[in-house]
Amino acid sequence: MGKFAVYLSALLCLAGRGYCADAEYKLVRIETLTNAVRVRLPLTDVTGKVRMKEKSADGFGVPLAPTRVPLGRKCYLEWQIGYDTPNANDVSVVPEISFTRNGATKYGHELAKLIFEAVRVGLISTNELAREVAALQQIPPSAFEENQPVQIEVATNAAAEGFESAAQRLPQFTKTTPHGWVQIQLKQKQRAVGYQAMIYVCLPMSEVLDMDGSPRKPRKAHSKETVLYEFNPGNAAFLRDVLHAFGIASQAHNDDIRQMLEKILAAPR
Protein backbone atom coordinates (compact mmCIF):
# COMPACT_ATOMS: atom_id res chain seq x y z
CA MET A 1 0.00 0.00 0.00
CA GLY A 2 2.91 2.32 0.71
CA LYS A 3 4.30 1.97 -2.81
CA PHE A 4 0.82 2.37 -4.31
CA ALA A 5 0.24 5.55 -2.30
CA VAL A 6 3.54 7.00 -3.50
CA TYR A 7 2.71 6.05 -7.11
CA LEU A 8 -0.77 7.58 -6.84
CA SER A 9 0.64 10.74 -5.31
CA ALA A 10 3.13 11.05 -8.16
CA LEU A 11 0.36 10.66 -10.75
CA LEU A 12 -1.77 13.29 -9.05
CA CYS A 13 1.19 15.64 -8.91
CA LEU A 14 1.88 15.20 -12.64
CA ALA A 15 -1.81 15.67 -13.44
CA GLY A 16 -1.89 18.83 -11.34
CA ARG A 17 1.15 20.22 -13.14
CA GLY A 18 -0.47 19.46 -16.47
CA TYR A 19 -3.67 21.19 -15.44
CA CYS A 20 -1.79 24.25 -14.18
CA ALA A 21 0.24 24.42 -17.40
CA ASP A 22 -2.93 24.19 -19.47
CA ALA A 23 -4.64 26.89 -17.39
CA GLU A 24 -1.59 29.16 -17.68
CA TYR A 25 -1.48 28.74 -21.45
CA LYS A 26 -5.10 29.90 -21.79
CA LEU A 27 -4.55 33.13 -19.84
CA VAL A 28 -4.49 36.45 -21.67
CA ARG A 29 -1.45 38.28 -20.31
CA ILE A 30 -0.67 41.98 -20.76
CA GLU A 31 2.81 43.44 -20.31
CA THR A 32 4.11 46.97 -20.64
CA LEU A 33 7.21 47.91 -22.63
CA THR A 34 8.91 51.30 -22.84
CA ASN A 35 6.48 52.72 -25.40
CA ALA A 36 4.15 49.82 -26.15
CA VAL A 37 1.70 47.40 -24.53
CA ARG A 38 1.91 43.74 -25.50
CA VAL A 39 -0.83 41.15 -25.25
CA ARG A 40 -0.06 37.42 -25.04
CA LEU A 41 -2.84 35.30 -26.53
CA PRO A 42 -3.37 31.53 -26.83
CA LEU A 43 -3.36 30.41 -30.46
CA THR A 44 -4.91 26.95 -30.18
CA ASP A 45 -7.55 27.30 -27.45
CA VAL A 46 -10.45 26.67 -29.84
CA THR A 47 -13.07 26.56 -27.04
CA GLY A 48 -11.98 29.73 -25.25
CA LYS A 49 -12.27 33.49 -25.78
CA VAL A 50 -9.55 33.56 -28.46
CA ARG A 51 -10.22 31.63 -31.66
CA MET A 52 -8.58 31.29 -35.03
CA LYS A 53 -10.69 32.18 -38.06
CA GLU A 54 -10.40 32.74 -41.79
CA LYS A 55 -11.97 35.79 -43.44
CA SER A 56 -15.33 35.24 -45.13
CA ALA A 57 -17.60 37.35 -47.32
CA ASP A 58 -20.26 37.72 -44.62
CA GLY A 59 -17.78 39.25 -42.15
CA PHE A 60 -18.33 36.63 -39.43
CA GLY A 61 -15.34 34.47 -40.38
CA VAL A 62 -14.94 30.72 -40.65
CA PRO A 63 -13.48 28.87 -37.61
CA LEU A 64 -10.24 26.99 -38.24
CA ALA A 65 -8.36 24.15 -36.59
CA PRO A 66 -5.03 26.03 -36.16
CA THR A 67 -2.89 22.89 -35.78
CA ARG A 68 -4.17 21.43 -39.06
CA VAL A 69 -3.92 24.26 -41.58
CA PRO A 70 -1.20 26.84 -42.34
CA LEU A 71 -2.18 30.17 -40.79
CA GLY A 72 -1.64 32.67 -43.60
CA ARG A 73 -2.71 36.19 -44.52
CA LYS A 74 -6.44 35.36 -44.71
CA CYS A 75 -6.40 34.11 -41.11
CA TYR A 76 -6.98 36.13 -37.98
CA LEU A 77 -7.38 35.78 -34.23
CA GLU A 78 -10.81 36.65 -32.88
CA TRP A 79 -10.51 37.81 -29.26
CA GLN A 80 -13.71 38.22 -27.25
CA ILE A 81 -12.25 40.98 -25.13
CA GLY A 82 -13.65 41.90 -21.73
CA TYR A 83 -13.21 44.86 -19.41
CA ASP A 84 -14.21 43.58 -15.98
CA THR A 85 -14.03 40.48 -13.78
CA PRO A 86 -15.18 39.50 -10.27
CA ASN A 87 -11.77 37.90 -9.67
CA ALA A 88 -9.48 40.35 -7.87
CA ASN A 89 -6.53 37.99 -8.46
CA ASP A 90 -6.87 37.75 -12.24
CA VAL A 91 -3.53 38.25 -14.03
CA SER A 92 -4.98 41.16 -16.04
CA VAL A 93 -6.68 42.98 -13.16
CA VAL A 94 -6.10 46.68 -12.55
CA PRO A 95 -6.41 47.14 -8.76
CA GLU A 96 -7.07 50.87 -9.17
CA ILE A 97 -10.31 50.18 -11.05
CA SER A 98 -13.30 48.68 -9.26
CA PHE A 99 -17.02 49.33 -9.30
CA THR A 100 -20.25 47.73 -8.13
CA ARG A 101 -22.88 46.32 -10.45
CA ASN A 102 -26.03 44.58 -9.26
CA GLY A 103 -24.57 44.30 -5.77
CA ALA A 104 -21.34 42.60 -6.96
CA THR A 105 -17.87 44.14 -7.03
CA LYS A 106 -16.16 44.10 -10.42
CA TYR A 107 -12.52 44.83 -11.19
CA GLY A 108 -11.13 46.26 -14.40
CA HIS A 109 -9.17 43.81 -16.55
CA GLU A 110 -8.10 43.17 -20.19
CA LEU A 111 -9.37 46.33 -21.94
CA ALA A 112 -9.13 48.26 -18.66
CA LYS A 113 -5.52 47.18 -18.24
CA LEU A 114 -4.71 47.94 -21.89
CA ILE A 115 -6.05 51.48 -21.56
CA PHE A 116 -4.50 52.03 -18.12
CA GLU A 117 -1.06 50.98 -19.35
CA ALA A 118 -1.45 52.81 -22.68
CA VAL A 119 -1.99 56.04 -20.76
CA ARG A 120 0.95 55.29 -18.49
CA VAL A 121 3.39 54.87 -21.42
CA GLY A 122 1.94 57.73 -23.47
CA LEU A 123 0.08 55.87 -26.22
CA ILE A 124 -3.17 57.56 -25.20
CA SER A 125 -3.38 60.93 -23.47
CA THR A 126 -5.65 61.83 -20.57
CA ASN A 127 -7.15 64.54 -22.78
CA GLU A 128 -8.17 61.87 -25.29
CA LEU A 129 -9.82 59.85 -22.53
CA ALA A 130 -11.68 62.91 -21.26
CA ARG A 131 -12.95 63.60 -24.79
CA GLU A 132 -14.07 59.97 -25.09
CA VAL A 133 -16.04 60.21 -21.85
CA ALA A 134 -17.79 63.33 -23.15
CA ALA A 135 -18.51 61.65 -26.51
CA LEU A 136 -19.97 58.54 -24.88
CA GLN A 137 -22.34 60.69 -22.84
CA GLN A 138 -23.80 62.11 -26.07
CA ILE A 139 -24.68 58.78 -27.73
CA PRO A 140 -28.48 58.42 -28.03
CA PRO A 141 -30.06 55.08 -27.05
CA SER A 142 -31.27 54.56 -30.63
CA ALA A 143 -27.64 54.37 -31.79
CA PHE A 144 -26.65 51.46 -29.55
CA GLU A 145 -26.06 48.25 -31.47
CA GLU A 146 -28.19 46.23 -29.06
CA ASN A 147 -31.20 48.41 -29.98
CA GLN A 148 -30.95 47.71 -33.71
CA PRO A 149 -33.80 45.52 -35.03
CA VAL A 150 -33.40 41.78 -35.58
CA GLN A 151 -34.99 40.85 -38.89
CA ILE A 152 -36.67 37.57 -39.79
CA GLU A 153 -37.08 36.72 -43.47
CA VAL A 154 -39.47 33.92 -44.42
CA ALA A 155 -39.16 32.25 -47.82
CA THR A 156 -42.18 32.40 -50.10
CA ASN A 157 -41.78 28.74 -51.09
CA ALA A 158 -42.10 26.03 -48.44
CA ALA A 159 -39.14 23.72 -47.95
CA ALA A 160 -39.34 19.95 -48.26
CA GLU A 161 -41.80 17.94 -46.16
CA GLY A 162 -43.84 20.98 -45.22
CA PHE A 163 -41.06 22.85 -43.40
CA GLU A 164 -40.89 26.59 -43.95
CA SER A 165 -37.57 28.30 -44.61
CA ALA A 166 -36.64 31.41 -42.61
CA ALA A 167 -33.48 33.43 -42.10
CA GLN A 168 -32.61 35.60 -39.12
CA ARG A 169 -30.55 38.71 -39.78
CA LEU A 170 -28.61 40.11 -36.84
CA PRO A 171 -27.01 43.57 -37.03
CA GLN A 172 -23.23 43.71 -36.83
CA PHE A 173 -21.04 46.82 -36.49
CA THR A 174 -17.46 46.63 -37.82
CA LYS A 175 -14.61 49.17 -37.76
CA THR A 176 -11.68 48.15 -39.97
CA THR A 177 -8.14 49.52 -39.73
CA PRO A 178 -4.82 48.45 -41.32
CA HIS A 179 -3.86 46.83 -38.00
CA GLY A 180 -7.03 44.86 -37.31
CA TRP A 181 -10.73 45.38 -36.88
CA VAL A 182 -13.27 45.43 -34.08
CA GLN A 183 -16.76 43.93 -34.34
CA ILE A 184 -19.91 44.30 -32.28
CA GLN A 185 -22.18 41.29 -32.69
CA LEU A 186 -25.57 40.54 -31.17
CA LYS A 187 -25.79 37.17 -29.42
CA GLN A 188 -28.72 35.56 -27.64
CA LYS A 189 -28.41 35.82 -23.86
CA GLN A 190 -27.59 32.47 -22.25
CA ARG A 191 -29.36 33.07 -18.94
CA ALA A 192 -32.02 35.62 -19.89
CA VAL A 193 -34.42 36.61 -22.65
CA GLY A 194 -33.21 38.78 -25.50
CA TYR A 195 -29.88 39.68 -27.09
CA GLN A 196 -26.65 41.14 -25.83
CA ALA A 197 -23.87 42.95 -27.66
CA MET A 198 -20.51 41.17 -27.72
CA ILE A 199 -17.24 42.86 -28.75
CA TYR A 200 -14.57 41.01 -30.70
CA VAL A 201 -11.08 42.28 -31.50
CA CYS A 202 -9.87 40.73 -34.74
CA LEU A 203 -6.09 40.55 -35.21
CA PRO A 204 -4.75 39.56 -38.65
CA MET A 205 -1.92 37.04 -38.57
CA SER A 206 0.20 39.49 -40.57
CA GLU A 207 0.24 41.68 -37.42
CA VAL A 208 0.82 38.86 -34.92
CA LEU A 209 4.27 38.20 -33.40
CA ASP A 210 6.05 35.07 -32.23
CA MET A 211 7.03 34.98 -28.57
CA ASP A 212 10.51 36.30 -29.45
CA GLY A 213 8.90 39.45 -30.88
CA SER A 214 9.49 38.63 -34.55
CA PRO A 215 6.65 38.48 -37.13
CA ARG A 216 5.02 35.05 -37.12
CA LYS A 217 5.55 33.20 -40.40
CA PRO A 218 2.62 31.39 -42.10
CA ARG A 219 2.56 27.83 -40.76
CA LYS A 220 0.47 25.43 -38.72
CA ALA A 221 0.30 26.11 -35.00
CA HIS A 222 1.95 23.77 -32.54
CA SER A 223 0.16 22.52 -29.43
CA LYS A 224 -0.47 25.23 -26.80
CA GLU A 225 1.27 27.88 -28.88
CA THR A 226 1.01 31.48 -27.70
CA VAL A 227 1.57 34.64 -29.73
CA LEU A 228 1.89 38.38 -29.15
CA TYR A 229 0.10 41.45 -30.44
CA GLU A 230 1.59 44.86 -29.76
CA PHE A 231 -0.17 48.18 -29.33
CA ASN A 232 2.35 50.93 -30.10
CA PRO A 233 2.40 54.53 -31.39
CA GLY A 234 1.66 53.26 -34.90
CA ASN A 235 -1.66 51.61 -34.03
CA ALA A 236 -2.81 53.38 -30.85
CA ALA A 237 -5.87 54.65 -32.76
CA PHE A 238 -7.01 51.04 -33.15
CA LEU A 239 -7.02 50.65 -29.37
CA ARG A 240 -9.21 53.76 -29.11
CA ASP A 241 -11.58 52.17 -31.65
CA VAL A 242 -11.88 49.09 -29.44
CA LEU A 243 -12.69 51.32 -26.48
CA HIS A 244 -15.33 53.23 -28.45
CA ALA A 245 -16.94 49.98 -29.63
CA PHE A 246 -17.99 49.21 -26.06
CA GLY A 247 -19.46 52.69 -25.78
CA ILE A 248 -21.80 52.17 -28.74
CA ALA A 249 -22.62 48.50 -28.03
CA SER A 250 -25.18 48.99 -25.27
CA GLN A 251 -26.28 51.34 -22.51
CA ALA A 252 -24.79 49.06 -19.84
CA HIS A 253 -21.42 48.91 -21.61
CA ASN A 254 -21.52 52.66 -22.14
CA ASP A 255 -22.12 53.31 -18.44
CA ASP A 256 -19.40 50.88 -17.37
CA ILE A 257 -16.81 52.24 -19.81
CA ARG A 258 -17.42 55.81 -18.66
CA GLN A 259 -16.95 54.71 -15.04
CA MET A 260 -13.78 52.86 -16.02
CA LEU A 261 -12.30 55.85 -17.85
CA GLU A 262 -13.13 58.22 -15.00
CA LYS A 263 -11.30 55.94 -12.56
CA ILE A 264 -8.31 55.72 -14.90
CA LEU A 265 -8.24 59.51 -15.14
CA ALA A 266 -8.37 59.79 -11.34
CA ALA A 267 -5.72 57.13 -10.68
CA PRO A 268 -2.25 58.31 -9.52
CA ARG A 269 0.70 57.72 -11.85
pLDDT digits (tens, 9 = 90+) for 61-108: 999 999 999 999 899 999 999 999 999 888 889 988 888 878 888 899
pLDDT at 15: 47
DSSP result, 101-159: ETTEEEEEETHHHHHHHHHHTTSS-HHHHHHHHHHHHT--GGGSGGGSPPEEEE-SS--
- Domain assignments of the chain as residue spans, ordered by start: 24-141+175-266
Alpha-carbon distance of 83 to 246, in angstroms, equals 9
Report how far residue 94's alpha carbon sits from residue 13's, in angstroms, rounded to the nearest whole number.
Answer: 32
Q: H or E element: which one contains 255?
A: helix 251-266
- Per-residue model confidence (pLDDT) at position 163: 76
| 1 contact partners, CB below 8 Å, separation of at least 6 | none
Mean pLDDT by 10 residues, the chain (269 residues): 52 49 82 95 90 89 93 94 91 86 87 96 96 96 89 68 77 92 87 83 96 95 95 96 95 93 87
Predicted local confidence at residue 14, as pLDDT: 46
